[in-house]
C-alpha cells in the first residue's frame, strides 16, 4: 500500500506501491502483513540483513550514550573504525563522510590535490557505463546520459574509456596526462558487468607506468560482497584511493575514503571536511558490521553462496534460453539479463507479487544483492520464485 503522505515528497524515485513495516534477517514485511525475501538489501546496504543483533545492539547502546559531537573533537568509535579499516586493507589513512557519492567526491578531490603537487595535473579517466554518484564531481565521472540530462555543464577534465579495455585507458593516459583513473571492480548499476580476470591488474600497471593514481569505487561491492572483503583483492593489487559506503555502516549512513600515506598527506587541515562524517553513532554501527563480517567469515561465505546461486540460475537460463541471455556475477552480486525489456519488466512485477525483491537495472537485468548471511534455502526460494514468475509471464502470452 502506498503512503498517502508521499505526495509531499519530491518525485525523484519511481517507488513500488509498497510500504515496509519491519524486517528480520533476509525478510521484510509490508504494512499489510505480506512477507518478502529481500534480495535488494537496501541497494547493497544491509549486508547482514535486517535488524542483525550486533548492529541493533551497537546502535541502541551508542544512541543512549552519545550520538553526535562533530569532528571538532576526537571521536572514540571513529578512531577504532579507522584502525579496523587500515588493519584490513591497503590503506594508511581514512576520511569519513556519509554516503557513496561523498566518498567519490572526496576521492576525486584528494586525487586532484595530489595532482596539483605532481605536475599540476587534474584530468581523470573514468569508464563508460560507470555510476559513481549524483553530486557534481561524482556525476562528472559518470558517463551515462540518463543521469546527466539537464545538469550540464559538468566539471572539466573527465575522459571516458570503454569498461574492461585497459588499452583504451593507456591511450587516454598518453593523450590527456591525467592524475587518476577511477573505476568500479564490478559495474553494478550498469547490469552487473564483471570484467575479465586480470583487468584490474593491467590498469594498476598502466597507472604505475604513467604516474597516475588508481581510485577504486567499491561502494557497492566492498565489505565482503564478492567473496573478499574488498573486490580488488581477487586481483591481488593495491589501489591508491578507495571509496566505501553502503554496507560500511550496517544500515546507518557512513562513507569513507581510504588512501595510502603518500596520497593522504595532501589532505591537510581545512582541505576537506564533513560535519556528520564518522560520528559516534555511524562509527559504532560500522565497527559492529565489520567485526561481524570478519568474525563470521562472511566474505568467504558470500563466495561459496554466490557460486551456488549462479549454478542454480544457470539451470534456469538453460530452461528458458529464449528469454534469458546471460547469468553473471561475482559472489553475492548477481545479474540475470533477459533478452527482452518488456519481458524483464513483467517478470520483475510478478516476482514482487510472488514475494521476491530484486532490482531491475538497465531495463532488462535483475540485479540481485542478497545479505551475506543468507543461506541455500533462501536462495532456493529465490530461484523458485524467479522460475515461477517466468512461467507465469510466458503462460500469459
For the annotated catalytic residues, the residue numbers are 131, 217, 246
End-to-end CA distance of the chain: 28
Residue 178: phi and psi, rounded to 5, are: -80, 165
Angle at 81 between CA 79 and CA 87, to 5 degrees: 100
Question: Distance between CA atoms of 18 and 69, rounded to whole angstroms?
Answer: 36
The four Cα atoms 242, 248, 249, 250 give a dihedral, to 10 degrees, of 170
Q: Which of 24, 42, 51, 21 is nearest to 33 (CA)?
A: 21
String of DSSP letters for 378-392: HHHHHHHHHHHHHHH
Pairing of strands 180-183, 213-217: parallel
CA distance readout (Å), 292 to 58, 263, 285: 12, 30, 11
Question: Distance between CA atoms of 47 and 368, rounded to whole angstroms?
Answer: 12
Contact 219, 103 (CB under 8 A): yes
CA distance readout (Å), 36 to 31, 141, 368: 12, 35, 14
* Alpha helix stretches (DSSP H) within 118-221: 136-140, 145-148, 166-176, 199-210
200: left (phi over 0), alpha (psi -120 to 50) or beta: alpha
Amino acid at each position: 500500500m502506498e503512503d498517502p503522505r508521499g505526495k509531499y515528497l519530491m518525485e525523484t524515485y519511481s517507488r513500488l506501491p509498497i510500504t515496509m513495516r519491519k524486517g528480520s534477517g533476509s525478510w521484510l514485511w509490508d504494512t499489510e502483513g505480506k512477507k518478502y525475501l529481500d534480495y535488494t538489501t537496501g541497494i547493497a546496504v544491509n549486508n547482514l540483513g535486517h535488524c542483525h543483533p550486533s548492529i541493533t545492539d551497537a546502535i541502541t547502546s551508542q544512541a543512549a550514550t552519545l550520538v553526535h559531537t562533530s569532528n571538532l573533537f576526537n571521536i572514540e568509535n571513529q578512531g577504532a573504525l579507522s584502525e579496523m579499516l587500515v588493519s584490513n586493507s591497503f590503506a594508511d589513512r581514512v576520511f569519513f563522510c556519509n554516503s557513496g557519492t561523498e566518498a567519490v567526491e572526496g576521492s576525486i578531490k584528494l586525487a586532484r590535490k595530489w595532482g596539483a603537487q605532481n605536475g599540476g595535473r587534474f584530468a581523470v579517466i573514468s569508464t563508460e557505463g560507470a555510476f559513481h554518484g549524483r553530486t557534481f564531481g561524482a556525476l562528472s565521472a559518470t558517463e551515462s546520459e540518463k543521469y546527466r540530462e539537464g545538469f550540464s555543464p559538468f566539471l572539466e577534465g573527465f575522459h571516458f574509456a570503454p569498461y574492461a579495455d585497459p588499452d583504451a585507458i593507456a591511450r587516454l593516459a598518453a593523450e590527456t596526462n591525467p592524475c587518476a583513473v577511477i573505476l568500479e571492480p564490478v559495474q553494478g548499476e550498469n547490469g552487473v558487468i564483471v570484467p575479465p580476470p586480470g583487468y584490474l591488474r593491467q590498469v594498476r600497471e598502466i597507472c604505475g607506468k604513467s604516474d597516475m593514481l588508481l581510485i577504486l569505487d567499491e561502494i557497492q561491492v566492498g565489505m565482503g560482497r564478492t567473496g573478499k572483503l574488498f573486490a580488488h583483492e581477487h586481483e591481488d593489487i593495491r589501489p591508491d584511493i578507495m571509496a566505501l559506503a553502503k554496507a560500511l555502516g550496517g544500515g546507518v549512513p557512513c562513507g569513507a575514503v581510504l588512501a595510502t600515506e603518500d596520497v593522504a598527506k595532501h589532505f591537510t587541515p581545512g582541505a576537506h571536511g564533513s560535519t556528520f562524517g564518522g560520528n559516534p553513532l555511524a562509527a559504532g554501527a560500522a565497527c559492529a558490521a565489520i567485526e561481524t563480517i570478519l568474525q563470521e567469515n562472511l566474505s568467504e561465505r558470500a563466495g561459496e553462496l554466490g557460486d551456488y546461486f549462479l549454478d542454480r540460475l544457470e539451470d534456469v537460463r538453460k530452461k528458458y534460453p529464449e528469454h534469458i541471455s546471460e547469468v553473471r556475477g561475482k559472489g553475492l552480486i548477481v545479474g540475470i539479463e533477459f533478452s527482452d525489456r518488456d519481458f524483464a519488466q513483467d517478470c520483475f512485477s510478478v516476482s514482487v507479487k510472488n514475494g521476491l525483491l530484486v532490482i531491475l537495472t538497465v531495463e532488462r537485468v535483475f540485479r540481485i544483492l542478497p545479505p551475506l548471511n543468507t543461506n541455500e534455502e533462501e536462495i532456493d526460494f529465490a530461484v523458485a520464485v524467479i522460475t515461477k514468475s517466468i512461467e507465469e509471464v510466458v503462460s500469459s502470452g
